[in-house]
Chains A and B, each alone.
Chain A
Amino acid sequence: MKRLDHIEMFYNFAFINDEVKREVRRAIFKAIAIPGYQVPFGSREMPFARGWGTGGIQITLSIITPTDVLKVIDQGSDESVNAENIKRFVARVSPGIGITTDTTQATIIQTRHRIPEEPMRSDQILVLQVPYPEALREVEPSEVETRRMHAEGDYGRMWLYLYEDIVRFGEVRISYRYPVRVNEHYIMDPSPIPRWDVPKLNMAESLFLFGAGREKRIYAVPPFTRVEPLTFEDHPFRIENFNGAKCKLCGSFDTYLNEIIMTEAGERIFLCSDTSYCKKRRKQLGV
């Protein structure tokens, strides 16, 4: 936990210029007003490669204030190269902000592929990095056509796709990017979060913003909004089952776990995906 309080005089506060921020803000504004709808925006070049969180970072830079405390996670980890670089970059160009790894202390959490284990509060905003914003892309390659499908609520092919999976495999095979219906209207890609995290989007206290920089789309789930995974009455949605496995470090069995192969012989261990939660739990337990 540290704060970089030197002032970079070479950039605007939060790096990108004001016109761009306004455009991103207008997209965010309409995205919140139309939950689950993908608002196009003119995604700009950032000092990151596209696909490394440029959508999320443009959102973060457009909304952050000097009194914010930022946390960045990548697959649940605060310490990955991607998370560290984004955190350092935002802190460097946004003098005054605080940075943290503690979920409970953050006001903005930028994340890739996970929603933190600790419940999000109403004063927190989760910014999700999205590689493929279009949930219908699996069944329709044309952007023109998917836009029409969303406009007309023509989701039959998506339902058929799920149904065919059940017929063939007895289960919907989608493990992450599980499609959801937002506010009983649009079908939305919740970004590549595991199934474990999908229920956390439903009627949440916090605001969720989704940014796809490469695909130039922003969408949102406001607080207290119904978000339901696409499922059949006789085939309910299921989250991952770890069959009683526990985190090797903190002993947790009610968190999302990463399976890690330790030896060539195939010895496996499980660790909490949310490193901050795991660390905190170990401290509490004194292990």
Chain B
Amino acid sequence: MRNLWLVLRREYTTRVLSPVFWLVTFLAPVLLGLLMVLPVLLASNVDDDAWTVYVLQDLPLAEKLSGQSLPGRLEFVVLQASEDSLRRRVLQESHTLGIYAMGDTGLKLPTVTYCTNGSPGMNTVGKLHEVLRTLYREQRLLAAGVPAEQLAQTETQVTFKSVRLSEQGEQKGSVLAGYAIGYALAMVNYLLLLIYGSMVMQSVMEEKTSRIMEVLATSVKPVHLMLGKILGIGAVGFTQVILWLVLGTGVSLAVGAALVTTGAGSAAAPPVSMEQVEGATVRSEAMMTEISGALAILDWQLLGLLVFFFICGFLLYSSLFAAVGSSVDQMSDAQQLTPFVIFPIVVPILALSAVVNDPNGALAFWFSMIPLFSPIIMLVRVAAGGVPLWQQLLSMAIMLVSVWGVIQLAARIYRVGILTYGKKPTIREMLRWLRLPA
């Protein structure tokens, strides 16, 4: 037992004290934050040039369009000219578009034709299309006899509030938020299992290839060596995840703040109508209720379940990874065996959408009982809600028994594998190792 602790402590301290650990711990959230912010930053930095749209005076909506200018982005200028002279003008001036044909507002499928000599960019084109589409609709509504003052009221924004009922009464959080949280937790668990599981494998292989294994094997029982390593790296993982949670909260708060300011900045540029501001407020309020609903789902029960399934899943998979790592002494050989371990981690991810569509269906039920899949599937189901307690407890019980069993099996392979050099063992040989006497 003392040796198990010594192995664990070495695994933990050498990793946590290494600069690489801190580099990864700090850089990962920064990179993740950059990934989130970068598209927004990049998108907000392009397509800022103003485009002038010339419209022939004779066209049905020409007069209306001149009032729709968005200063600094799209300026509509009505031209009293022929189609040819409009085309020439567009050809000569940069950042110009020319609308020279426009279907009548009475038509069911009107066509608008415009020309340009440059590339206005997606945003500009999209804005132009939106303006035109809105105008056409307004014209038709007016023609149908809708009073102008009522037009503004047709803009609708529906907010959904869903309540999850259970025997105990209303549950916190909305239905959709449950799915989102489940998805997120599943992905997190999947990544963590993969990252730290393969870390265990690497570490076992390192001891094997550096040949220190033989010295260790004469001092420590193989099962203690394996468990010490798994628990040590598990503790490293826990430390890192907690650091990430702390950092992540900080970073996302900062990013959120940054997004709000840039969002406000871009929104302030064009003169936004009162309705638009209201719409935005309503939308962000809806988003806030969704977020708070999602956070409400993250209660202690779910967090506890997350921790339970993370720990058990890690023990299960890292034992398998340790067994694989112990039976090979070259990275290339390991790559041939790792699919056997990675496949069961990937299956539940593939099944995620099916489970989310029917969180209490047969597939979801059985997958949440299979210990290789339950760390991911059960989390999704519980987050979605409506999983009977007995199912949760059964899944946890199966998990605990399997963890114990898999550790026993892995230790048997490990015991033989760590001292086997040379040829890569076949699966059949590894199965034979299981039957060797202790």
A binds B: no
